[in-house]
Amino acid sequence: MINLFYKISTLKKYMTKTAKIIIGVVVIVLIAWLGYFYKKQATQMGNTEPIKIGSIFALTGLGASQGEQELKGVQLAVKEINEAGGISGRQIELISEDVSLDKLNVAGSVAHKLVDIDKVMAIVGTTWDEPAQAILPIIEAAKVPMVGQNQTRALKKDNPFNYFFSTWYDNEVGVRELLSYAQKMRLKKVVIVRPIGAGFYQYVSDKISSNAKEFGVEIIEDINLNNPTVNDFRTDLAKIKIKKPDAVIIVLNGFTGCPFLKQAGEIIGNVPVLSTEGSGDYYALSQCSKSMENLYFSYPKETSEYASFVERYDKAFGASPSTPSVMTAYDALKIIAKSLESTNGEGGEKLQKVLAQTKSYKGVSLNDISFDELGFVATPLDAFEMRTVKDGKFVKIR
């Protein structure tokens, strides 16, 4: 009894005024906002309330350079729809959240917040596979459809989830386009360099290895890089040099592209570097175009909508869309909006059914977006083309 009394009085002593204030403020903020949202749910009736759509991209930390751009694609779509009157007369309210590989443990919290508190109708996201994989059970249980803008086929195989769709291309098609170029240019002996760190690189690199033989490409050396933030490739390039390959294949993106290409230029000279669509990054082009002249990459063909999209994007953001997932993110939101039109703003199972039946949607990323039974985009075998860089511009290789 005396112990208890003693404990309370010492506890009071510990908690100085400032500590109490800080803790108090945080708790109050949390309660206040939760209360605010509860109230908002309670009074939300009637059709002039905004339609909420969530987005989850990597906005800080690992992958932020990509997620930042993907968010822009979605923002443009939202702006255009709202300016045209919204969905069934209701404006879209975009709730944007941040999940990146270096803080993967908030993926669940973010998903729960969007579906339980904000009560979004649908979500666009995530940047790369991992956060999506962690979120799938949550959206499935809450019956909130999510459309991914750059998820690989590795995602659903283990767990068929019905509420997840993706507008991202089948990477294998791009890989095969790349390899058929190698075949055409008689690049027989090739070294593959595997960046490591996100499942995406692993998946695409595996596709390259498994498809290579069919195109007469022999992988003479398989080099694994070591961590996602590495940008010193020199010794790996020195190893490549002594093998004297016809070409180097590596899955690059806007972040690793410039350092690798610059160092490749220094160490292995004119050996061509082959890569996939992530390397055709407009932002990287503005930073190191000269080094990119040795780069040959497969990229989705321009659709009929593309030119006008670029104009609108440029008007909104003063730049070209840097990477293909900007376009797929834009299409993802537009498809969600279109489906919401047909369900008259209703979400859940009804929305899922309409989304699943998306066929022949004219997108910016593909001329014909149709979801297959797993919810992925059916990618035509000739959807990609080869490009390189000349005089600071991307040019198609004939």
Listed in sequence order, the residues at least 6 apart from 320 whose beta carbon sits closer than 8 Å to its beta carbon are: 282, 310, 313, 314
306 or 317: whose CB is closer to another protein?
317
Encode burial over 74-106: b for 16+ CB neighbours within 10 A, e otherwise.
Answer: bbbbbeebbeeebbeebebebebbbbbbeeeee
Angle at 180 between CA 209 and CA 206, to 5 degrees: 15
Listed in sequence order, the residues at least 6 apart from 52 whose beta carbon sits closer than 8 Å to its beta carbon are: 92, 93, 95, 118, 119, 120, 121
- Name the amino acid, one letter, at 58: A
User: Least distance to another protein from the beta carbon of 177, Å?
Assistant: 24
**Phi and psi (nearest 5°) for 373?**
-65, -25
User: Least distance to another protein from the beta carbon of 110, Å?
Assistant: 8
Compute how many other C-beta atoms are within 10 angstroms of the C-beta atom of residue 226: 10
* Collapsed DSSP state (helix, strand, coil) of residue 63: coil
User: Least distance to another protein from the beta carbon of 267, Å?
Assistant: 6
User: Are the CB atoms for 130 and 198 separated by under 8 Å?
Assistant: yes
User: Are the CB atoms for 257 and 292 separated by under 8 Å?
Assistant: yes
User: Least distance to another protein from the beta carbon of 291, Å?
Assistant: 5
**What does each C-alpha distance from 104 to 14, 62, 195, 328 come to in angstroms?**
35, 10, 20, 23
User: Least distance to another protein from the beta carbon of 318, Å?
Assistant: 12
User: Least distance to another protein from the beta carbon of 19, Å?
Assistant: 5
Q: What whole-number distance in Å separates Cα of residue 390 and Cα of residue 205?
A: 26
User: Least distance to another protein from the beta carbon of 149, Å?
Assistant: 17
Angle at 254 between CA 248 and CA 260, to 5 degrees: 35
Compute how many other C-beta atoms are within 10 angstroms of the C-beta atom of residue 229: 10
What are 165's two structure tokens? 């769709």
29 or 381: whose CB is closer to another protein?
29
User: Least distance to another protein from the beta carbon of 184, Å?
Assistant: 27
120 or 369: whose CB is closer to another protein?
120
User: Least distance to another protein from the beta carbon of 41, Å?
Assistant: 11
Dihedral (C-alpha) 257, 262, 265, 268: value to the nearest 10 degrees? -70
18 or 360: whose CB is closer to another protein?
18
Q: What whole-number distance in Å separates Cα of residue 84 and Cα of residue 99?
A: 30
Residue 50: name the closest of 348, 353, 340 by CA: 340
User: Least distance to another protein from the beta carbon of 247, Å?
Assistant: 19
